[in-house]
Amino acid sequence: MFETEDIGLNEQPVTPRPGEKVIELLVPVDKYLSAGVHIGTHICTKFMEPFVYRVRSDGLYILDVRKIDDRLRIAGKFLARYEPAKIAVVSVRQYGKKPVSKMCQYIGCKTFTGRFLPGTFTNPSLKWYYEPDIVLLTDPRADAQALKEAAEIGLPIVSFADTDNKTDFIDLVIPGNNKGRKSLALLYWILTRQVLRERGAIPPNGDLPEQPTEFEAEV
């Protein structure tokens, strides 16, 4: 379905890791490929340029799989250092709902799916007020309200970002296709596993009892 030349693994990536050796990815390349985590959009913001591997002849921007892998690792390290209940994971859009819920089921974080109620992070007089220590967003555009409130109170913000996203106020960007059903499932599955590995809840090569497909939203 995807040509292998799309993913930047059979040739030198745009910016090779310095002193690069063979670095193992978190999941096999074909798993990344078939989920389409690397498929960007036809728009590329200057903020996301560093994460782009190449532009396909039809004008589609392709993300660098290595960089996606790398940032999932780093994000796992960061998130693992926070108290589970103080991590807020947000997805306004439909396809992120299931992956986010699944992640929170495993790592104990707090889910914010569907419409993000204004004031959730900022207005203590609301019944649904909640003050996290860190937030993870699925899409900075769709999750703009959560982004705005988190930035307002100075929370660290981790966010998935596609080639068409702006990354203002995001402290740690995880590049990736945040539109696709399968892509979101795989990204959240890997991140969940990384957090559990970093916490020591599962061994460094341990796996989740479920497959990434279980993280997919129903069609």
Q: Which residues of the shown chain bind a second copy in the complex (CB under 8 A)?
A: 15, 17-21, 46-47, 49-50, 70-71, 73-74, 77-78, 81-82, 144, 147-149, 151-152, 154, 156, 167-169, 171-172
> Which is it for strands 52-55 and 61-63: parallel, antiparallel or unpaired?
antiparallel
CB of 182 to a second copy, least distance (A): 26
CB of 194 to a second copy, least distance (A): 11
Instruction: Give the dihedral sign, CA 101/102/105/107.
Output: negative
In the chain, the DSSP E strands lie at 52-55, 61-63, 87-91, 110-113, 134-137, 157-161, 172-175
**How far is 185 from 212, CA to CA, in rounded Å?**
6
Residue whose CB is less far from a second copy, 182 or 193: 193
CB of 147 to a second copy, least distance (A): 7
Residue whose CB is less far from a second copy, 34 or 156: 156
CB of 148 to a second copy, least distance (A): 4
**How far is 202 from 219, CA to CA, in rounded Å?**
31
C-beta of residue 97 within 8 angstroms of C-beta of residue 217: yes
Residue whose CB is less far from a second copy, 74 or 126: 74
Residue whose CB is less far from a second copy, 21 or 127: 21
